[in-house]
Amino acid sequence: MTTARDIMSTDVQGARLDDTLVDVARRMRDRDIGAVPILGRNEDLSGIITDRDIVRCIAEGHDPKLITAAHFATERPITVNTDADIEEVQMLMGQHQIRRIPVISNGRLVGVISQGDLVRHDPRDGGETIRDISQP
């Protein structure tokens, strides 16, 4: 059985709740990623912020140099444990139409699974998940 641990990306660096959206956007640019986990004081996962959240901030007329990640992060994101079966990961991503899912172990962020990770693992099943995520 393939688990989340087997396909997750482990080189994950989170931002802090008080980082500005400009700081988060730069981290996305520098790492060529579309989402950044937001970590709380105890290094626990407090949320996730995506490139779409930053666009929403700007579209609503806010200054991303002044707004912190805490204001636009999705709180309590959908997560999986490291031992979650890949089918469960695919089901959650499709059901909630999310492109990335944080992987947790003992309450700590240890990785992220993206659409690309799913496709690399199994192009056929990964493609079906992408189709599910993209449904209106």
DSSP 10-50: ----PEETTSBHHHHHHHHHHHT-SEEEEE-TTSBEEEEEE
Residue 79 CA: distances (Å) to CA of 38, 45, 105: 13, 10, 10
Tens of pLDDT along 29-80?
A: 999 999 999 998 887 899 999 999 999 999 999 999 999 999 999 888 999 9
Tens of pLDDT along 70-101?
A: 999 988 899 999 999 999 999 999 899 899 99
State the angle between helix axes of 123-134 and 86-96 in degrees (0 to 180), rounded to the nearest 10: 20
> Model pTM?
0.84
Tell me what pLDDT residue 109 has.
Answer: 92
Work out the average pLDDT over 1-19. Answer: 92
Domain ranges of the chain: 4-134
The CATH fold of domain 4-134: CBS-domain (3.10.580)
Please say if the pLDDT value at position 127 is more than 80.
no
